[in-house]
Amino acid sequence: MNFEGFSQMFNGVMNRNSMNRMHELQSKEQIAYLRRLDASIRLDRDFSRPFDEVEFVVFDLETTGFEPVKGDEIVSVGAIKIKGSELLSAQFYSLSKIQGWISPKIEALTSITNKQVANALPAKDVLDSFIHFIGESTLIAHHAKHERDFMDSYYKKIYQKKFIHRIVDTSFLLKVTGMNNPYCTLDEACQTLNIPIENRHHALGDAVMTAKVWTSLIGRLQEQGIENLEQLYSRFAEM
């Protein structure tokens, strides 16, 4: 091997080692961040604070199916921050690379193609960014079991940790305010509240509509004397 060849090989090894060390450092920093985040979330500061003082994150996941335990995957994540009855400007959206494939049915529903997710960020990178976006905020989702199941699965798979963020289901508000069948679809909830249906089955579009459902109902809760999550959960338990 001549000197130039040896030099190229040596530099390649050094670059790989540097990348490995950088990846290890980033992983350690992320683990440390998650530990601090868990400790803060466990304090549950949002539970008794008035809705108008709490910054929530409303989110939605588009997925290849409904069962992460059977291999279904997240293809996109969308989220928006709200405070009281106000939608804030902070938003999050990302496609996510998957190991499997998107069926023609899901592709038609979401308009997300296999080519798009093939060029998307790896799931870990998307989840890392999303976790930093939400911080210790309480989450909101429509029919939240779907989002909870996938977040639980991905958190366990990627971080080997339990996902402990509280996720509040908009069905709580629908039932407590008597507005609609709590099991209604997002479309039905929007129609009941005269919210325009836009960008349906797009993660960010659905998150924004869910946020509008939530903010539309906050005033009705306050009229009933429900000012925070603790009172909301108590009223829901009585029904």
Asked if the structure places residue 221 within a domain, the reply is yes
Chain segment 62-92, per-residue pLDDT in tens = 999 999 999 999 999 999 999 999 999 999 9
Structural domain including 97 reads 44-238
Answer whether residue 161 is part of any domain.
yes
165 belongs to a structural domain:
yes
Identify the band that residue 213 occupies on the pLDDT scale cut at 50, 70 and 90. very high
What single string gives the DSSP state of each residue in 73-111?
-EEEEEEEEEETTEEEEEEEEEEB--SS---HHHHHHH-
Decide if 164 is inside a domain. yes
**Residue 13: inside a domain:** no
Strands of 66-206, DSSP E: 74-83, 86-95, 139-141, 167-169
Classify residue 106: in a domain, yes or no. yes
Report the alpha-carbon angle 218-222-226, nearest 5.
105
Residue 230 lies in a domain: yes
Q: How many domains does the chain have?
A: 1
Domain annotation covers residue 97: yes
Q: How far apart are CA 182 and CA 185, in angstroms?
A: 9
pLDDT digits (tens, 9 = 90+) for 123-168: 999 999 999 999 989 999 999 999 999 999 999 999 999 998 999 9
pLDDT tens per residue, range 89-122: 999 999 999 999 999 999 999 999 999 999 999 9
Q: Is the pLDDT of residue 10 over 50?
A: no
For the cut 60, the answer to whether the pLDDT of residue 9 exceeds it is no
CATH number at residue 170: 3.30.420.10
Please indicate, yes or no, whether the overall pTM of this predicted structure exceeds 0.75: yes
- Per-residue pLDDT reduced to its tens digit, 13-64: 445 554 454 455 456 676 666 667 565 565 567 788 999 999 999 999 999 9
